[in-house]
Amino acid sequence: MSITITRVTKANAEDLRLPNQPFERFGHMQVTRDETGWHHHETKDDVISAQTFPEEHYQLVDIDRLGFALSAYRDGQCVGLATFEYQFNKLVYLADLKVNADARHQGIASALLDAAKLIAQQHGCAGMCTIAQGSNLAANRFYLHYGFQIGGLETFRYQFTQAAGECDIHYWLSF
């Protein structure tokens, strides 16, 4: 198996249409903060469910205006995509990270972030930030394992939606 990470350009802009695939929802990351900092623990769901995010309909001109995108290829086929946006605070925001279900747990997401760090550093960034829903335990585990630190908890974003009660956990990583 050969993994290649490539910046998305006009030549491979079709990679921006990589479809979202289901992921398992099997638990929650619970986050608290006290005088010593952020803390977390996991709770397992009684029932495992699946979720698929809506398609984004990315346009390369918009991606390039805000930042950049990277594609991951396994044996010549696009199996992963990450989009990034430069922020005012010398951080690059990981806006989207997806890997095809049959390509997960093979280091592809980490390879995408490794490549993004180099591009972001060349752009003057000192770190990366992102968010994950508290109900996406696999994503939260990945970010912590990769080296991100919890930097915030947002509990109101979904208040007036079908996802009322959901939260976003904010992560940051210094380079």
pLDDT tens digits, residue range 52-91?
999 999 999 999 999 999 999 999 999 999 999 999 999 9
The rounded distance, in Å, linking the Cα atoms of 14 and 24 is: 26
Whether residue 30 is found in the same domain as residue 14: no
| Amino acid 162: pLDDT | 87
Whether residues 62 and 113 share a domain: the answer is yes
Residue 85 domain-assigned? yes
Residue 173 falls inside a structural domain: yes
Query: Cβ distance 171 to 129 under 8 Å?
Result: yes
Position 144 in a domain: no
Chain mean position to CA 79:
15
- Residue of 124, 163, 138 lying closest to 26 (CA atoms): 138
Task: Say how many domains are in the chain.
Answer: 2
77 belongs to a structural domain: yes
State how far the Cα of 48 lies from the Cα of 25, in Å rounded to an integer: 6
Q: Both tokens of residue 46?
A: 């009684």
User: For residue 43, is pLDDT > 90?
Assistant: yes
Query: Would you call 21 helix, strand, or coil by DSSP?
Result: coil
Is the domain of 160 the same as that of 102? no
**108-122 and 137-146 helices, crossing angle to 10°:** 50
CB 25 within 8 A of CB 50: yes
Domain membership of residue 87 (yes or no) is yes
Over residues 148-172, the pLDDT tens digits come to 999 999 999 999 988 888 999 999 9
Place 141 in a pLDDT band, splitting at 50, 70 and 90: very high
Q: Are residues 109 and 166 in the same domain?
A: no
Claim to verify: residue 99 and residue 71 sit in the same structural domain: yes
Confidence check: pLDDT of 118 > 90: yes
Sequence-distant (≥ 6) Cβ neighbours of residue 49 within 8 angstroms: 24, 25
Q: Give residue 1's pLDDT band: very low, low, confident or very high (50, 70, 90).
A: confident
Instruction: Supply the CATH number for residue 62's domain.
Output: 3.40.630.30
Range of the domain at 2: 1-19+55-122
